[in-house]
Amino acid sequence: MSDARDTGLTLDPKYDRDGLITAVVTDVDSGDVLMVAHMNAQALALTVETGFAHFWSRSRQSLWKKGESSGHMLAVRDIRIDCDQDAVWVKAVPAGPTCHTGARSCFFRRVTAEGLTPVDAEA
C-alpha cells in the first residue's frame, strides 16, 4: 500500500540521516548521465528557484553552484523525483564539461573484466 509520499503530488523529499538526497544529472538533449551528486534542502530549493543546479559538497561540507568558478553551469530544464522521493533526476543543458577532470561526463570509464577502459566520447 502506497502513502501520499509515494503517489501524491506534494513534494516531500526523504533526506538521508545526513540531510541529503541523491541527484542524478543527465543531458536534456542526449539523455547521457553527466554526474551524480547530493542535494540538501537548500540546494534543492535553490535549484528550483534559480534554474541552475546547486549541490551539497560532502567533502567540503558546503553548498555549491555547479560551474560557479569554471563557468560550466548546468541550466536546469526539468527536475523529477522518484516514487519514494529519495532521489531526484535533473535534466540540464551543460555549459561545458561537467566533470572536474574536464570530461564531458563523470562517467567516462567502462568497467570490464580486465579493469577500466575509456568510453568513446561518441558512445
* Portion of the chain with pLDDT greater than 90, in percent: 89
Domain segments of the chain: what residues?
A: 4-98
Q: What is the mean pLDDT of residues 77-101?
A: 97
Q: Sign (positive/negative) of CA torsion 64, 51, 75, 92? A: positive
Is pLDDT above 60 for 94? yes
pLDDT digits (tens, 9 = 90+) for 7-54: 989 999 999 999 999 999 999 999 999 999 999 999 999 999 999 999
* Portion of the chain with pLDDT greater than 70, in percent: 96
What is the distance of C-alpha 6 from the center of its chain?
A: 21
When the pLDDT of each residue in the chain is averaged and rounded to a whole number, the result is: 94
pLDDT score at 122: 52
Euclidean distance between CA atoms 94 and 104, whole angstroms: 9
Is pLDDT above 70 for 2? no
Whether residue 81 contacts residue 94, with contact meaning beta carbons closer than 8 Å, is answered with no
pLDDT score at 4: 85
Binding residues for Mg(2+): 82, 84, 86
CATH architecture of 4-98: Roll (3.10)
Q: Sign (positive/negative) of CA torsion 78, 28, 74, 54? A: positive
Binding residues for Zn(2+): 83, 99, 106
* Res. 123 pLDDT band, cuts 50 70 90: very low
- Quote the pTM value: 0.91
